[in-house]
Amino acid sequence: MKVGGRWRYLYRAIDRDGNLLDTMLSERRDRSAARRFLRRLLDGAAQKPLRVTTDKHPAYRKTIRWIVGRKALHRHNQYLNNRIEQSHRPIKQRYYPMLGFGRFDSASRFCTAFDELRHYLRIRPTHSKPVTSSTRREIFIARWSTLMAELVS
Protein backbone atom coordinates (compact mmCIF):
# COMPACT_ATOMS: atom_id res chain seq x y z
CA MET A 1 0.00 0.00 0.00
CA LYS A 2 1.10 3.55 -0.56
CA VAL A 3 1.95 5.75 2.40
CA GLY A 4 3.14 9.26 1.69
CA GLY A 5 3.58 8.36 -1.97
CA ARG A 6 5.88 5.40 -1.25
CA TRP A 7 5.13 1.70 -1.21
CA ARG A 8 4.96 0.09 2.23
CA TYR A 9 4.39 -3.57 3.02
CA LEU A 10 1.61 -5.14 5.07
CA TYR A 11 2.59 -8.39 6.77
CA ARG A 12 -0.35 -10.52 7.91
CA ALA A 13 -0.59 -13.94 9.51
CA ILE A 14 -3.69 -16.11 9.54
CA ASP A 15 -4.27 -19.65 10.74
CA ARG A 16 -5.75 -22.47 8.67
CA ASP A 17 -9.30 -21.39 9.54
CA GLY A 18 -8.69 -17.85 8.27
CA ASN A 19 -8.53 -16.27 11.72
CA LEU A 20 -6.23 -13.29 12.00
CA LEU A 21 -3.14 -13.86 14.14
CA ASP A 22 -1.12 -10.69 13.65
CA THR A 23 -0.64 -7.65 11.39
CA MET A 24 2.38 -5.43 10.85
CA LEU A 25 3.04 -2.58 8.45
CA SER A 26 6.68 -2.22 7.46
CA GLU A 27 8.65 0.39 5.54
CA ARG A 28 10.79 -2.29 3.89
CA ARG A 29 10.30 -5.83 2.69
CA ASP A 30 13.54 -7.44 3.69
CA ARG A 31 14.97 -10.05 6.03
CA SER A 32 14.93 -7.81 9.11
CA ALA A 33 11.24 -6.96 8.63
CA ALA A 34 10.40 -10.64 8.16
CA ARG A 35 12.38 -11.53 11.30
CA ARG A 36 10.65 -8.81 13.32
CA PHE A 37 7.23 -10.02 12.20
CA LEU A 38 7.93 -13.71 12.84
CA ARG A 39 9.42 -13.00 16.28
CA ARG A 40 6.39 -10.91 17.21
CA LEU A 41 4.07 -13.63 15.92
CA LEU A 42 5.81 -16.45 17.78
CA ASP A 43 6.00 -14.46 21.03
CA GLY A 44 2.20 -14.53 21.17
CA ALA A 45 1.84 -18.16 20.06
CA ALA A 46 1.66 -21.15 22.36
CA GLN A 47 3.82 -23.28 20.06
CA LYS A 48 5.82 -23.02 16.86
CA PRO A 49 3.95 -23.81 13.64
CA LEU A 50 4.61 -27.00 11.71
CA ARG A 51 3.90 -25.37 8.32
CA VAL A 52 4.41 -21.82 7.10
CA THR A 53 2.99 -20.64 3.77
CA THR A 54 4.38 -17.49 2.13
CA ASP A 55 4.97 -16.03 -1.29
CA LYS A 56 8.33 -16.66 -2.97
CA HIS A 57 10.14 -13.63 -1.58
CA PRO A 58 13.77 -14.66 -0.89
CA ALA A 59 13.87 -13.13 2.61
CA TYR A 60 11.46 -15.71 4.00
CA ARG A 61 13.46 -18.90 3.45
CA LYS A 62 16.37 -18.16 5.78
CA THR A 63 14.18 -16.24 8.23
CA ILE A 64 11.78 -19.13 8.71
CA ARG A 65 14.61 -21.62 9.09
CA TRP A 66 16.38 -19.37 11.60
CA ILE A 67 13.38 -18.39 13.76
CA VAL A 68 10.82 -21.19 13.39
CA GLY A 69 13.34 -23.99 12.92
CA ARG A 70 14.41 -26.49 10.30
CA LYS A 71 11.55 -28.87 11.13
CA ALA A 72 8.93 -26.40 9.93
CA LEU A 73 7.74 -26.98 6.39
CA HIS A 74 8.01 -23.79 4.31
CA ARG A 75 5.46 -23.86 1.50
CA HIS A 76 5.57 -21.19 -1.16
CA ASN A 77 3.37 -22.42 -3.98
CA GLN A 78 1.34 -19.60 -5.52
CA TYR A 79 -1.95 -21.48 -5.06
CA LEU A 80 -1.35 -22.21 -1.38
CA ASN A 81 -0.91 -18.48 -0.81
CA ASN A 82 -4.46 -17.66 -2.00
CA ARG A 83 -5.97 -17.67 1.50
CA ILE A 84 -3.70 -14.91 2.77
CA GLU A 85 -4.12 -12.93 -0.44
CA GLN A 86 -7.90 -13.11 -0.06
CA SER A 87 -7.65 -11.97 3.54
CA HIS A 88 -6.03 -8.76 2.20
CA ARG A 89 -9.12 -8.01 0.10
CA PRO A 90 -11.20 -6.11 2.73
CA ILE A 91 -8.36 -3.77 3.65
CA LYS A 92 -7.64 -3.13 -0.03
CA GLN A 93 -11.30 -2.33 -0.64
CA ARG A 94 -11.19 0.22 2.17
CA TYR A 95 -7.77 1.58 1.26
CA TYR A 96 -8.21 2.26 -2.47
CA PRO A 97 -11.00 4.88 -2.18
CA MET A 98 -8.89 6.73 0.40
CA LEU A 99 -6.09 7.18 -2.19
CA GLY A 100 -3.41 6.17 0.28
CA PHE A 101 -2.21 7.48 3.61
CA GLY A 102 -0.16 10.55 4.42
CA ARG A 103 1.82 9.24 7.38
CA PHE A 104 3.23 5.84 8.26
CA ASP A 105 2.00 5.95 11.88
CA SER A 106 -1.61 6.61 10.91
CA ALA A 107 -1.48 3.87 8.24
CA SER A 108 -0.11 1.37 10.76
CA ARG A 109 -2.79 2.24 13.33
CA PHE A 110 -5.52 2.03 10.70
CA CYS A 111 -4.40 -1.38 9.41
CA THR A 112 -4.16 -2.86 12.89
CA ALA A 113 -7.50 -1.46 14.07
CA PHE A 114 -9.31 -2.33 10.84
CA ASP A 115 -8.09 -5.94 10.88
CA GLU A 116 -8.85 -6.46 14.56
CA LEU A 117 -12.33 -4.95 14.30
CA ARG A 118 -13.13 -6.94 11.18
CA HIS A 119 -11.94 -10.15 12.84
CA TYR A 120 -13.99 -9.41 15.97
CA LEU A 121 -17.21 -8.74 14.04
CA ARG A 122 -16.78 -11.60 11.57
CA ILE A 123 -19.19 -14.49 12.03
CA ARG A 124 -17.81 -17.88 11.09
CA PRO A 125 -19.77 -21.10 10.63
CA THR A 126 -19.14 -23.67 13.36
CA HIS A 127 -18.62 -27.36 12.63
CA SER A 128 -19.35 -26.80 8.92
CA LYS A 129 -22.92 -25.70 9.67
CA PRO A 130 -24.08 -22.61 7.79
CA VAL A 131 -25.23 -19.65 9.86
CA THR A 132 -28.60 -18.20 8.91
CA SER A 133 -28.99 -14.51 8.17
CA SER A 134 -31.15 -13.89 11.24
CA THR A 135 -28.58 -15.58 13.49
CA ARG A 136 -25.77 -13.57 11.86
CA ARG A 137 -27.70 -10.38 12.50
CA GLU A 138 -28.31 -11.26 16.16
CA ILE A 139 -24.66 -12.16 16.73
CA PHE A 140 -23.47 -9.00 14.98
CA ILE A 141 -25.82 -6.78 17.01
CA ALA A 142 -24.71 -8.43 20.25
CA ARG A 143 -21.01 -7.98 19.41
CA TRP A 144 -21.54 -4.40 18.24
CA SER A 145 -23.45 -3.53 21.43
CA THR A 146 -20.68 -5.04 23.56
CA LEU A 147 -18.06 -3.10 21.64
CA MET A 148 -19.93 0.19 21.96
CA ALA A 149 -20.47 -0.38 25.68
CA GLU A 150 -16.71 -0.98 26.08
CA LEU A 151 -15.88 2.22 24.18
CA VAL A 152 -18.32 4.35 26.18
CA SER A 153 -17.09 3.18 29.58
Pick from 107, 76, 75, 81: which is nearest to 94 by CA?
A: 107
The domain total for the chain is 2
| Tens of pLDDT, residue by residue, the chain (153 residues) | 888 888 899 888 888 777 888 889 999 988 999 999 989 888 888 888 888 888 888 888 888 888 888 888 888 877 877 777 777 788 888 888 877 788 999 999 988 888 888 888 888 777 778 888 898 899 999 999 999 999 898
Write out the residue range of the structural domain in which residue 45 sits: 2-122
Q: Answer yes or no: do 31 and 74 share one domain.
A: yes
Asked whether the whole model's pTM tops 0.85, one would answer no
Kindly state whether residues 69 and 107 are assigned to the same domain: yes
Same domain, 70 and 39: yes
Residues 93 and 77 in one domain: yes
Alpha carbons within 13 A on the beta-carbon side of 137: 3
Beta strands of 5-123 (E only): which ranges? 6-7, 9-14, 20-26, 51-53, 73-75
CATH number for 77 = 3.30.420
Which residues sit opposite 51 in a β-bridge?
A: 73
